Amino acid sequence: FYLTNVRTVLFFRAVESQNEGQCSPVDSLWRRYSEFELLRNYLLVTFPHIVVPPLPEKRADFVWHKLSADNMDPDFVERRRIGLENFLLRVASHPVLCQDKIFYSFLTQEGGWKEMVNETGFQLKADSRLKALNATFRVKNPDKRFTELKHYSDELQSVISHLLRVRARVADRLYGVYKVHGNYGRVFSEWSAIEKEMGDGLQSAGHHMDVYAASIDDILEEEEHYADQLKEYLFYAEALRAVCRKHELMQYDLEMAAQDLTSKKQQCEELATGTVRTFSLKGMTSKLFGQETPEQREAKIKVLEEQIQEGEEQLKSKNLEGRDFVKSAWADIERFKEQKNHDLKEALISYAVMQISMCKKGIQVWTNAKECFSKM
Amino acid sequence: MSCLQDTSLAEANSFSPSMPISPSSMINQYKFEDEPELKDLFVTVDDPESHITAIETFITYRVVTKTSRGEFDSCEYEVRRRYQDFLWLKSKLEEAHPTLIIPPLPEKFVMKGMVERFSDEFIETRRKALHKFLNRIADHPTLTFNEDFKIFLTAQAWELSSHKKQGPGLLSRMGQTVRAVASSVRGGVKNRPEMFAEMNEYMETFSHKINILDKIAHRIYKEEREYFNEMKEYGPIHTLWSASEEDIADSLKGVASCIDKCCKATEKRMAGLSENLLPIIHEYVLYSEILMFSEEIGKLEDKVECANNALKADWDRWKQNMQYDMRSAFTNVADNNLRYYEECLATWESFLASQTVDHHGEEDSEDRP
* Structure confidence at residue B161 (pLDDT): 83
Q: Which of B204, B207, B209, B333 to mutate to test the interface with A (most CBs of A within 10 A)?
A: B209
Q: Report CB contact under 8 Å: A191, B352.
A: no
Q: What is the pLDDT of residue B38?
A: 72
Same domain, A95 and A223: no
Question: Please, which contacts does B186-193 make with residues 24 or more away whose CB atoms are closer than 8 Å?
Answer: B189/B15, B189/B16, B189/B17, B189/B307, B190/B17, B190/B307, B191/B306, B191/B307, B192/B306, B192/B307, B193/B306
Asked, for residue A117, whether it belongs to a domain, the answer is yes
pLDDT for residue B4: 38
Please give the Cα distance from A226 to A355 (Å, whole number). 12
B218–chain A nearest CA distance, Å: 10
Query: pLDDT tens-digit profile of B46-69?
Result: 999 988 888 888 899 999 999 999
* A297 belongs to a structural domain: no
| Better pLDDT: B365 or B187 | B365
The answer to which of A24-28, A120-124, A239-243 has the lowest mean pLDDT is: A24-28
Q: What is the pLDDT of residue B291?
A: 80
What residues in A contact B333, CB-CB < 8 Å? 373
| CB-CB neighbors (< 8 A) of A193 in chain B | 205
pLDDT tens for each residue of A320-346: 999 999 999 999 999 999 999 999 999
The Cα of A69 is separated from the nearest Cα of chain B by a number of Å equal to 21
Query: What are B312-361's pLDDT values in tens digits?
Result: 788 889 999 999 999 999 999 999 999 999 999 999 999 999 998 765 54
Q: Is residue B180 pLDDT above 80, yes or no? A: no
State the nearest Cα–Cα gap between B259 and chain A, in angstroms: 10
Nearest CA distance, B133 vs chain A (angstrom): 24
Model confidence at A200, in pLDDT bands (50, 70, 90)? very high
Residues in chain A with CB shorter than 8 Å from the CB of B226 are 173, 176
* % of chain A with per-residue pLDDT over 90: 57
Question: If you average pLDDT over residues B173-199, what whole number do you get?
Answer: 52
pTM as predicted: 0.80
Q: Are residues A63 and A127 in the same domain?
A: yes
Q: Of A135, A164, A190, at which residue does a domain stop?
A: A135
Task: State in Å, rounded, how far the first CA of chain A is from the last one.
Answer: 58
Confidence of residue B273 (pLDDT cuts 50, 70, 90): very high
Residues A95 and A189 in one domain: no
A170/B209 Cβ within 8 A:
no
A169 contacts in chain B (CB < 8 Å): 230
A141, part of any domain? no
Quote the number of domains for chain A: 2
Q: Indicate whether A282 belongs to any domain.
A: no
Same domain, A91 and A172: no
Q: What long-range pairs does A50-53 form, CB within 8 A, spacing at least 24?
A: A50/A94, A50/A96, A50/A97, A50/A243, A50/A329, A50/A332, A51/A236, A51/A239, A51/A240, A51/A243, A51/A332, A51/A333, A51/A336, A52/A97, A52/A239, A52/A242, A53/A86, A53/A87, A53/A90, A53/A91, A53/A94, A53/A236, A53/A239
Reply yes or no on whether the pLDDT at B90 is more than 80: yes
Give the range among A62-66, A186-190, B112-116 with minimum mean pLDDT.
B112-116
Q: What is the pLDDT, as a whole number, of residue B356? A: 82
For the segment A165-180, the average pLDDT, to the nearest whole number, is: 95
Both A206 and A266 in a single domain?
A: yes
Give the domain range for residue A311.
147-270+302-375
A283 pLDDT tier (thresholds 50, 70, 90)? low
Chain B from 57 to 96: CB within 8 A of any A CB: none
For residues A120-136, average pLDDT: 87
Asked whether residue A363 is assigned to any structural domain, the reply reads yes
The one-character DSSP state at B276 is: I
What's the pLDDT score for residue B362? 47
In angstroms, what separates the C-alpha of B51 from chain A's closest C-alpha? 40
ipTM reported for the complex, 2 dp? 0.85
Note the pLDDT of residue A292.
67
Residue B8 clears pLDDT 70, i.e. is over it: no
Residue A200 sits in a domain whose CATH number is 1.20.1270.60
The pLDDT assigned to B56 comes to 84
Q: What is the pLDDT of residue A268?
A: 84
Residue B115 is predicted with a pLDDT of 53
Contacts with A, B 203-232, CB within 8 Å: 205-206, 209, 212-213, 216, 219-220, 223-224, 226-227, 229-231
Percent of chain A with pLDDT over 70: 85
Across the interface, of A159, A177, A345, the residue whose CB is closest to B220 is A177
pLDDT in tens, A149-162: 999 999 999 999 99
Residue A54's CATH number: 3.30.1520.10
User: Each residue of B298-313: pLDDT tens digit?
Assistant: 444 554 444 466 777 8
* Residue A58 and residue A154 share a domain: no
Q: Measured between CB atoms, which of B213, B227, B241 is closest to A174?
A: B227
Report how far apart, in Å, the C-alpha atoms of B326 and of each of A309, A320, B113, B278 are.
96, 82, 25, 11
Q: Cβ(A49)–Cβ(A334) under 8 Å?
A: no
Residues A8 and A75 in one domain: yes
Please indicate, yes or no, whether residues A161 and A100 belong to a single structural domain of this protein.
Answer: no
Q: Could you tell me if B181 and B15 are in contact, meaning their C-beta atoms sit under 8 angstroms apart? A: yes
A contacts of B255 (beta carbons < 8 Å): 348, 351-352
Same domain, A7 and A88: yes
Contacts of B341 in chain A (CB under 8 A): 359-360, 362-363, 366
A153 lies in the same domain as A123: no
Instruction: Note whether A183 and A209 are same-domain residues.
Output: yes
Q: Alpha-carbon Rg of chain A, whole angstroms?
A: 32
Residue B205 has pLDDT above 70, yes or no: yes
Give the residue with greater pLDDT, B366 vs A278.
A278
Q: Do B342 and A187 touch (CB under 8 A)?
A: no
Q: Do A187 and B224 touch (CB under 8 A)?
A: no
Contact A191 B209 (CB under 8 A): yes
User: What is the pLDDT averaged over residues B150-166?
Assistant: 86
- Chain B residues near residue A373 by CB distance under 8 angstroms: 327, 330-331, 333-334
Chain A nearest CA to B64, separation (Å): 33
Domain boundary among A135, A170, A197: A135
Q: Are residues A131 and A198 in the same domain?
A: no
A278: in domain = no
Record: contact A166-B213, CB cut-off 8 A: no
Highest mean pLDDT among A216-220, A291-295, B359-363: A216-220
More confident residue, B229 or B365: B229
Strand order in the sheet with B57-67: B41-52, B57-67, B76-82
